[in-house]
Amino acid sequence: MTTITRLTDRLMIDKSKVTSFLSWMGQASKALLLPVIGITVFLVIWSIAANSINTSLGKFPGPVAVAGQFGALYQEHNAERVKAEAFYERQDKRNAARLEVDPSYVVKIRAYTGKETFVDQIFTSLVTVMSGFLLAAVIAIPMGIWMGLSPTLNAALNPIVQVFKPVSPLAWLPLVTMVVSALYVSPDPMVSKSFINSLLTVTLCSLWPMMINTSLGVANIDSDLVNVSRVLRLSPLTHVQKIVLPASIPLIFTGMRLSLGVAWMVLIAAEMLAQNPGLGKFVWDEFQNGSSESLARIMAAVVVIGLIGFLLDRGVLALQRWFSWDKTK
């Protein structure tokens, strides 16, 4: 401190500003430094461990090999895009030429059917998980509110919820597949069956945490607030809008975060088996492929799956902050 005092005296700067800046630096470095140390140690242990594991597909990939695959996967994606553009260009030219010869020709545009790249698969997975999750939310939140309001309904449905909650997606999937192929018959389907299969499996597994938490939040509203509503003779709809929903928002969002976490985990398993063109299928295909790079590519997918799961959770948290009246939570 004495050097700081001497320094500030000589430069005639406010000393408190300097000390507060230093403490800010200290906090910032702590917030940044410790995670960096943690990640570094993890990477070192990983590469040492990887070096000593030999599989039939070669050495287990270390951090460097995985990082290399990120680059390779991105380049493959770009290369595929170039190919697709070239395909559409050729098609346009061909169609233009045919129109010149025969003006009555009805132009047919065919979609490019090259293989999905890693980036496409990430996108497919996100669309699938969000569709399944939203379908679950649309069912679970109103159901949860109803269960929270009515102890009778809650008592009737609770055993069902408790039994279905721990069921693995892998058990649902065969049933879902058979039901979907029996009921979803259309000569020109809007979306593929594998998409519907994955979506419904995600929905079936992510319904429960949302339903349970919502009903818990609604059932535990401060009884004084319920009495206010009774004295005012609010209609059931106004009661839900003005009292129930704002009061149970924290638990509804807790349920949504839990459910989205479950949904994302379930999705990868569902896509593997349903062959929905997402990250799960990517992992499965690479496993079947069995090249010397497969393990590194799967490991890259693992990192991406983890990052996306983390970002999804943060996304819901941000949504909760934006929605909730209580900005401190």
Partner 1 sequence: MSTFLDISNIDMDFPTPNGPFKALKEVNLKINKGEFVSLIGHSGCGKSTVLNIVAGLYQATKGGVILNSTEVAEPGPERAVVFQNHSLLPWLTAYQNVELAVKQVFQKKMNKAEMKQWIEHNLKLVHMDHAMHKRPSEISGGMKQRVGIARALAMQPDVLLMDEPFGALDALTRAHMQDSLMEIQNELNNTVIMITHDVDEAVLLSDKIVMMTNGPAATVGEILEVNLPRPRARLALAEDKEYNRLRAEVLKFLYEKQRKVENINISKSSISDNETADVG
Residues forming contacts to partner 1 in the complex (CB under 8 A) are 222, 224-225, 227-228, 230-234, 238, 242-243, 246-247, 325-326
Nearer to partner 1, 9 or 326 (CB): 326
Nearer to partner 1, 149 or 296 (CB): 149
Nearer to partner 1, 245 or 265 (CB): 245
What is the smallest separation between the CB atom of 241 and partner 1, expressed in angstroms? 11
Nearer to partner 1, 149 or 212 (CB): 149
What is the smallest separation between the CB atom of 115 and partner 1, expressed in angstroms? 51
What is the smallest separation between the CB atom of 250 and partner 1, expressed in angstroms? 11
What is the smallest separation between the CB atom of 155 and partner 1, expressed in angstroms? 18
Q: How far apart are CA 98 and CA 9, in angstroms?
A: 85
Nearer to partner 1, 135 or 225 (CB): 225
